[in-house]
Structure 1
Amino acid sequence: MSGRRGQGHHDGADTATKGEERDYTVRAVERVCSILNLLQESVEGVSLIEVAQETDLPKSSAFRYLWTLEAHRYVERDDDSGLYRLGLGFVGMQSRHLEVLRERARPWLEKIRDEFGETVNLAVLDRDHVVYVDVVESGKRVRFASSRGFREPWYATALGRAIAARLPGERLRELLPREERETTPGPQFANDLERVRSLGYATSDDGDGRCVAAALSGTRLPVALGISAPAARFSAADAARAAARLIAVTREIATAPIPEQRGAIR
């Protein structure tokens, strides 16, 4: 009897295939896909009016779609500009984009390592931690280094604070752990990130080690590039000099063409 039911189902599928092609699309899902495709193609962000125009939706409907996507972290809105971008909910889904970025950045990481003689890191923000995407270690016997996949709380690293300084205020608030919300003075924390925004880079100094980092522009991913070294040989002046180089390199990485195949980076 079970075999007969299976055969009947198969016949039904054949009949459907031979008949008229059915349209199984869902209009609401199509609109969501259109919105996400639009955001994916934008570097600076997209306004509510642009979303409404490109998707042929009333402004009120476009807002509801964006509000829902923002509530699920797939879209984020910049408080200052009012522009919408892809949110952190897509970070874990953009592994290929991240891998392409790593390939594109790798030669620059090696070049900076050779210039300064210190370890260079590429990291991405994932929820409330930074994850090391690539690490090019210093050749010196005493060095600071992590490994790919290593995770650290974002607020405890120069890499994390360089990224956080570019996030919308509401998103930043959500990222802050509860204990930090209770113990970190709001104005002092805000002033620190404002200074990072003004300088274009972040630094951290734990006594033994010193790090400097700059966020990448021109990419949808919250990523930063940084240098880590023993503080004894990497002074604050060295960090400031390295920061200028990092900022220049992040622009180079952002504007470099994406390689057509693995290993094709120049």
Structure 2
Amino acid sequence: MSVKSAERVLRVFELLALHKEGLTIKEVSELLSFPQSSTSTLVKTLFEEGYLSQDALKKYKLGPKLIQIGTVAMESLDISSQGQPFLKKLMEEVQETVFMALLSDDELVYVAKIDNNRSIRTTAQPGYRKPLYCTGLGKAFLAFLPGEKRSEILDKTPLISITDKTITDRKTLEKELERYIDAGYSIDDEENEEGLFCLAAPVFGADGTIQAAISVAGPKERMLTRKDFIIDKLLRTSKQISESIGHTSN
């Protein structure tokens, strides 16, 4: 059973999150259909405790204390932080560079890179963005996103050749993505950087949707000699990270 005062605090936070310009006590009261007297007491208490701030026009906004709490909450749910121990172990097992990426505005953004002492030079670094269609990590997203979202991304993504091996035909790419769905992992065969071979796998969240992707990358010749071994370790690691953020395997 919910506590009315706690519920009202949450409604105030949710309302002010939608009104970044701020609201007066009267506006909060009217929009939430709360009595003005109790709304005034509630809002002033939250202001005094630092959960709300007030501007010169007497409008209330979300306060600095919520930033601290939100930052901690983000860190506790940060897939990169959660995955670090698993990624480090994967790197030690395969002795190649390991990456993690998230989806951001229809591109991938690298959030983790763990180098091995024999890592090859690559343009991929944490914070860097790359297109989805020509990278192992990106193709993992395309393969395991819902079909409608995949089509939406491909509709507005020009398939430009980056190396001689970049796939620039959409039908060919889509057939390849179907194979990746069956296999459980994706491949970048020198499609983004010459000489670089990459194997990537999805990381699923509690709701069963892809939340991130991880990969192992290295020189093509060296990667191919141990491909099956690397795939085995990669898939096991992606499963472990998925489970650590709440995914339950069927």
When normalised by structure 1's length, the TM-score is: 0.57
RMSD: 3.0
Q: Residue 213 of structure 1 aligns with which residue?
A: 200
Structure 1 residue 227 and structure 2 residue 205: aligned?
A: no
Q: Does structure 2 conserve the Cα–Cα contact (< 8 Å) formed by 1:143 and 1:230?
A: no
> Which string of whole-angstrom CA distances, capped at 9 and with x for unpartnered residues, describes residues 146-194 of structure 1?
321011111110001011101122211221245339x944432221000
Q: Residue 136 of structure 2 aligns with which residue?
A: 158
> Does the residue aligned with 1:228 lie in a helix, a strand or coil?
strand
Q: Does structure 1 conserve the Cα–Cα contact (< 8 Å) formed by 2:133 and 2:159?
A: no
> Which string of whole-angstrom CA distances, capped at 9 and with x for unpartnered residues, describes residues 77-106 of structure 1?
xxxxxxxxxxxxxxxxxx927962111100
For 2:214, the aligned partner's letter is L
Change (3 A) 1:184 1:162: same
Q: Does structure 2 conserve the Cα–Cα contact (< 8 Å) formed by 1:135 and 1:145?
A: no
> Which string of whole-angstrom CA distances, capped at 9 and with x for unpartnered residues, describes residues 193-246 of structure 1?
0000000001112151110000012355531010111123221x5233212221
- Aligned-residue sequence identity (percent) comes to 26
Q: How does 1:133-172 map to 2 (within 5 A)?
A: 133-140=111-118, 142-144=120-122, 146-172=124-150
Unpaired segments ≥5 residues, structure 2:
1-23, 34-72, 161-166
Q: CA separation in 2, counterparts of 1:139 and 1:145?
A: 17
> Does the residue aligned with 1:216 lie in a helix, a strand or coil?
strand
Q: CA separation in 1, counterparts of 2:123 and 2:95?
A: 12
> Does the residue aligned with 1:222 lie in a helix, a strand or coil?
strand
Aligned residues: 172
Q: CA separation in 2, counterparts of 1:164 and 1:234?
A: 23
> Does the residue aligned with 2:126 lie in a helix, a strand or coil?
coil
Q: Which one of the candidate residues 86, 89, 92 is aligned to 1:108?
A: 86
Q: Residue 22 of structure 1 aligns with which residue?
A: 29
Deviation at 1:121, TM superposition (A): 0.2
For 1:155, the aligned partner's letter is Y
Q: Which one of the candidate residues 234, 237, 242 is aligned to 1:246?
A: 234
For 1:203, the aligned partner's letter is I
Q: Does structure 1 conserve the Cα–Cα contact (< 8 Å) formed by 2:79 and 2:245?
A: no
Q: Which one of the candidate residues 159, 177, 194 is aligned to 1:180?
A: 159
